[in-house]
Structure 1
C-alpha cells in the first residue's frame, strides 16, 4: 500500500486525492469544541425553528444606537459596536425600549441581514484573525450557547457529517452548567445533559455509527476558575459514562490563566476523586514559554496545539515516544495567525521525531472546514506517507480518553475497515470523488483556497 499511495499522490488530481482522504476510514477527532463546531447555517436552522429548539425565540442586534448603558450578558459588557449579538426572548424582554430597538427577531431578518449574521460567526475575511475570533465570535452567539436543544442539534449534525467522512470517534467539549429555560430561569445541569442524552439515544444518532464522549471545558482565566474546577470535577465524576476528561480553554496569552495557577487545586481534587484525564490547551502562543512543561506537571495526558513546544528542547525530549499526545489543528493555527504559513508549523518535526500527534479540527464551524481538510493539508503540505497517515488515525484512537474495552473495540473496527479499504485500492484502484455533502478545501475561499500551493493570505 505504501508504494501504491506514493504513486497515487503523484498522479491524482486534487479532487481525487481529497475524495480518497474523505472516504478513508478515520480514527477520531480529539480536539473539538462543540459550540465552535457549528456551521453558520446550522446555527440559523435550529435558532429559527421553535418547534425543535425547545420553544426559544431569538433576537439579534442589527443596529447600534447611543442608548444609556451597554447592558450585560454572560460575557460581561456588550461593546456598542458588536452587531449580531444574539439573545433569547427573556433577555430581550428585560432590555430598555431603546436597546430593544437595536435588535430584530432572527425570523424577521432581511436576506442581506441573514447573510451578514451567518458571516459574523465564521472567520472568512482576509483581515480577520485571532482577535476577531476570541473577542467577537463567541460573544455574538450569546444566549444560543445556553440552550441544550441547540447543543444537541449541533452534536447530531457533527455526527452525521463525520459519518460521511468515515470518522469512528468524537471526543467533544460540552458544557451544561448555566443553561437557560425559555423564560430565562436557570436549568439544572442534569436536565441539560439529559436533553443531549435523549438525542444521543435517538435512531438518527445511532444510525451515524459515531461513538461520542464528552470533555468538560474550564475557561481558565475566570476569576473564580478554581471554584469552577471543583464543580466540574464533581460533575464529571458523577457522569463518567459520558464525560471522560476535563479541558482548560481560553486565550493562552491571557496570563490570568497560566497553568501553574491550578496546581494546588488539582492536587486537592486528586485527594478526593479517582483519576480524571486532562487534555489542556498549551503552547498556542507566539512566544517561547514553559506552558507545555507546566501543563504536563498539572497531569495532562494530551496537549492541545502545542505549537511552541518546538522552542523547549527538554520538553520535546520528554514527549518523544512517551505517554503524551499533541492535538494538531493546522487550519486553526493558520487562521488565528499563530503561523504565517505551514513552513513555520512544527507538525512534521513532531511527527517525524517520534512525538505522538493526531489531527483534529478545533472550531471547525467557524473555519468552515472538515477533518478531511486537515488531512488534505497534511498530505499536500508535508508529503505524508501511508504509514504516517495510519499512525495519525491510530493515535487519535489510542490516546482517546474512552474506557479501555470500548477503545479496543474502536481500534479493531478501524483496523478492519482500513484493511478492506486498502484491499479495494490495491485490487480495484478505486477512484473516489468528494461527496456532494462534503466540502472541498477551496469551499472556504479566499483565505484557504490557496493552501495547497501557498499558505499566506493575500
Structure 2
C-alpha cells in the first residue's frame, strides 16, 4: 500500500513541481524584462523630467489625439509614412493636435539661416511694392539665374532684368512660377535629383534683396513677428554678413546690420519684452583656409564690438562637396591667438554630420573642438564613441526634421536618426533650419512631425522645449530670465490646453 501511495505522489507531484518551476521562470522573465525596460528609460534624454498632475492629464489627451489622428488616416487610406512634408501639410494644419502644438511655447529656435527666415509669399508681395525691384526673366547665365531678384536704380538695370511689379501684372502666371522657384519642395519621395543645387538657387534668387537696407529691415521685422506669433521667445540666426546699402547713401559699415536688428528688436519688445536674438557668424565650407581666417577675424572684431549679439562662428554648405572641418584645423588653431588679441572667446556652432555617409567624419571634429552645439548631426549614430563623448561633454544636437526630409537625408520621418539619439540620452532641440525656403513659417510644423512620427509624449516635448533655452548662447542672467518666463508660459499652456480640451470633450463626447 505504501508503495502504491508513493507512486501516486511521484506521478502527481512532478507536474506540480514542474508547474511551480515554470511559474518561477515566468516571474524571472517578467522581472528581467521590467528591469531592462527601466534601464532603457533611464538612459533616455528626458529621464530627468517629472510631470505634474496637470501635465499627466494633458499627456494622456495628447496621446489619445495622436492615436485618433492615425486611426482616421488609416480609415481614409491616407498613408503618412511614404509622403513628403509638402504632401501632408494640409493634414497637419487640419489636425486638432496642430492647434495644441501651435499654442505650445517653443522656447528658443537655435538653428535657422538668415536667408530662410521669412515667408516667400510675403517676400514677393513686399518686394513688388518697391519700384526699384527687378527680376531676371532670361535663361541662366554665369552671373544671374532665372527668377533672381535685386534692387537697381533705373539707369543701372542690367540686361535681362524687368521691373518685378510690371512683370507680375503683364504675366499673371509668373507669380506662381516665381513662387515655385523660391520654395524647395519634395513632391515625391522616390524622385531625387541634386537637391543641394536647387536649394542654393533659392538663396541666390533672394540674396541680393536682403542687402538692400530698407528691405532688410522689413524682412527681419516680419521674421521676428512670425516667430513671436508661433510662441518662440528666442532665436539664434546663422547670419551671413554683407554690407547693407541704399541708393541715397550707398554702402554702410558691416556692423549696420547688427544695429538695425537691435532697433527691430526694440520694436518687437514693445509688445513682447521677453523676445531675444543672437547671431552666429557664418562662413562657407567651400572657401579656402585664408578666406576662412579672414572671416573668422572679422567675426572676432564684431564680437568685441557687440559681445551680447555675436555668440559664435559656423561654417555652412553641402558637406558632401565642401571641405571637411578637419581641413580647417589651422583656422581652429588660430582661435587662441584671436582670443588673446581681441579679448573675447569665439565658441563654435558648427554644422556637422548633415550626411548619410559613414565617410563623412565631421562629427569627430566637433566632439574635439570647442564646439557648443552640433548642427544636424544626422550621421552621429555611426560613431558610438563620439556619441558617448558628446553625452559626457553635455553638448546639444540641433535637429531639423523637415529640412532633413526635403534635402533627401530622411524619407520616412520614423527613421530619423534623432530618434536613436534621444533614446540614447543625447540632448537635442527642434529647429526649422530654412522654413521660408521650404514654404512654411515658425516651428510648430517641426514639433508636430517629431511628436507624431517619433512617438513622443509630453515629457519629451517639454524636455526639447526647455533644452532650447538651457543650451542657448544667452548669458547667465539672460538665461535665468528666459527660463523663468518659459516656465510660466509652460504652466499657463498646460492649464489652458487642459481646460479647452475638456470643454471640447464635453461638447463632443463622441470625439473623446
The alignment status of 1:201 with 2:270, answered yes or no, reads: no
Asked if 1:177 is matched to 2:264, the reply is no
Moved >6 Å (runs of 4+): none
| Aligned partner of 1:266 among 335, 342, 366 | 335
Query: Hey, which of these two has a bigger chunk of helix by percent?
Result: 2
Between the aligned partners of 2:323 and 2:284, the Cα distance in structure 1 is 11
Counterpart Cα distance in 1 of 2:96 and 2:401: 21
Q: 2:490 aligns with which of 413, 418, 422?
A: 418
Deviations 1:355-379 (A, max 9, x none): 1100000001011233100110011
Aligned pair partner of 2:346 in 249, 272, 276: 276
Match of 1:61 in 2: 136
Go from structure 1 to structure 2 and tell me whether the alpha carbon gap of 1:195 and 1:421 turns closer, same or farther (over 3 Å shift): closer
1:40–1:119 contact (8 Å) kept in structure 2: no
State TM-score, norm by structure 2: 0.74
| 1:396-421 deviation per Cα after TM superposition (whole angstroms, max 9, x unaligned) | 00000011101111111111111122
Q: Is residue 144 of structure 2 the alignment partner of residue 144 of structure 1?
A: no
Mapping of 1:249-264 within 5 angstroms?
Answer: 249-261=316-328, 262-264=331-333
Contact 2:303 2:344 in 1 (8 A): no
Segments of structure 2 that go 5 or more residues without pairing to the other structure are 1-54, 70-91, 505-512
Q: How far apart are the structure 1 equivalents of 2:327 and 2:503?
A: 51
SS state at 1:377 partner: helix
C-alpha separation between the residues in 2 aligned to 1:92 and 1:386? 59
Contact map agreement 2:414 2:454 (CA 8 A) in 1:
no
Aligned to 2:97: 17
Q: CA contact under 8 A between 1:321 and 1:355: conserved in structure 2? A: no
TM-score, scaled to structure 1: 0.82
In structure 1, the gaps of 5 or more residues are 51-55, 71-76, 433-458
Q: Which is greater in Rg?
A: 2
Q: Answer yes or no: is the 8 Å Cα contact 2:58–2:494 preserved in 1.
A: no
Residues 424 and 131 of structure 1: is their aligned pair in 2 closer, same or farther, counting only changes over 3 Å?
A: closer
Match of 1:232 among 296, 299, 304: 299
- Kindly indicate whether residue 312 of structure 2 is the aligned counterpart of residue 245 of structure 1: yes
Corresponding residue of 1:291: 362
- Displacement of 1:344 in angstroms is 3.1
State the Cα distance separating 1:324 from its structure 2 match. 0.6
Post-superposition shift, 1:38? 1.9
Q: Supply the distance in 2 between the matched residues of 1:138 and 1:247 (Cα, whole angstroms).
A: 18
Asked if 2 retains the 8 angstrom alpha-carbon contact of 1:27 and 1:168, the reply is yes
Query: Contact 2:367–2:390 at 8 Å: present in 1 too?
Result: no
Cα RMSD (Å) of the superposition?
Answer: 2.4
Does the CA-based 8 Å contact 1:266-1:298 persist in structure 2? Answer: no
